[in-house]
Amino acid sequence: MNPAGARTDAGGGAGATPRHVAIIMDGNGRWAGQRHLPRLAGHRAGVEAARRVVRAAGDHGIEVLTLYAFSSENWRRPAQEIADLMGLLRRFIKAELKQLVDAGVRLRVIGDHRMFEPDLVTLIDDAVAQTANNTGTTLVVALNYGSQDELVRVARAIAADAASGAVDPSAIDAAAIESRLDTAGLPPPDLVIRTSGEHRLSNFLMWQAAYAELLFVDTLWPDFDGDALAAAIQDYGRRTRRFGGL
């Protein structure tokens, strides 16, 4: 039996390309600070980096690209910065939706985005609906997402089902949990990249990334581009994934 989420057909090595790449986009503020610019300028540059990487992911044949855009902990930031981020998200959706549709990208959101303002929730839901039948790269955007919150929600759902008799507690297994995760139906990430030189997952896909390859790069997110993604894929291709085996 393979560990939960592990796939022996998706090992690295021999120039393999990861099916699912997940990125913790970090360093917008530092990028702006180094240039004596306001933090908003860094976030704007980060949006441009996201555009580049989405296009590059399709060029590399990556099936799923997950971007950590707004964490459940980001609400602790100053109100003005949160408002700026929400404004950038609105503009990104309005500006990029046609391109996503034309490129065959399917948009999916994980996390509780319904905590956002109603007009933004409607924009997000409409974008997801308009791309639902696309068959190209699946772009997963984590919005108001935190892995611990996700697992708490799953635990509550399973507990409610068990209390109602819909689920036998003795039958609860990894598959039962995975089917209730925000990422249900998606392959687990093969490669998790974090930019800006930090070395932590920051509450991101902690269940799903149990067997992912981790890559920490010093590049600040606004400077990340197609070449940086290609280098990350090459690094992945030199690794051997055993999933606990030999």
Residue 30 annotated as binding site: yes
Respond yes or no: is residue 74 known to be catalytic. yes
**213 labelled binding-site residue:** yes
The residues, ordered by sequence, that sit 6+ positions from 131 with a Cβ below 8 Å of its Cβ are 97, 100, 101, 105, 106, 107
Q: How far apart (Å, rounded) are the C-alpha atoms in residues 151 and 174?
A: 12
Alpha-carbon gap, residue 70 to 78, rounded angstroms? 14
Query: Looking at 2, 9, 26, 182, which residue is catalytic?
Result: 26
Q: Which of 244, 166, 222, 172 is nearest to 40 (CA)?
A: 222
75 is in an annotated binding site: yes
| Residue 202 among known ligand-binding residues | yes
Torsion region of 111: left, alpha or beta (phi above 0 gives left; psi -120 to 50 gives alpha)? left
Catalytic residue among 74, 84, 134, 161: 74
Is 44 assigned to a binding site? no
Say whether 27 counts as a known binding-site residue.
Answer: yes
2 is catalytic: no
Question: Tokens 């799953």 appear where?
Answer: 154
- 39 annotated to bind ligand: yes
Query: Nearest-CA neighbor of 39 among 73, 76, 83, 91?
Result: 83
What tokens does 169 get?
């507690």
For residues 145 and 170, what is the distance between their CA atoms, to the nearest angstrom? 29
28 is in an annotated binding site: yes
Question: Is 71 annotated among the ligand-binding residues?
Answer: yes
35 in a labelled binding site: no
Q: Which residues are annotated as part of the binding site for substrate?
A: 27-31, 39, 43, 71-73, 75, 77, 194, 200-202
Annotated binding site: 26-31, 39, 43, 71-73, 75, 77, 194, 200-202, 213
Q: Which residues are annotated as a binding site for Mg(2+)?
A: 26, 213
Which residues are the active-site residues?
Answer: 26, 74
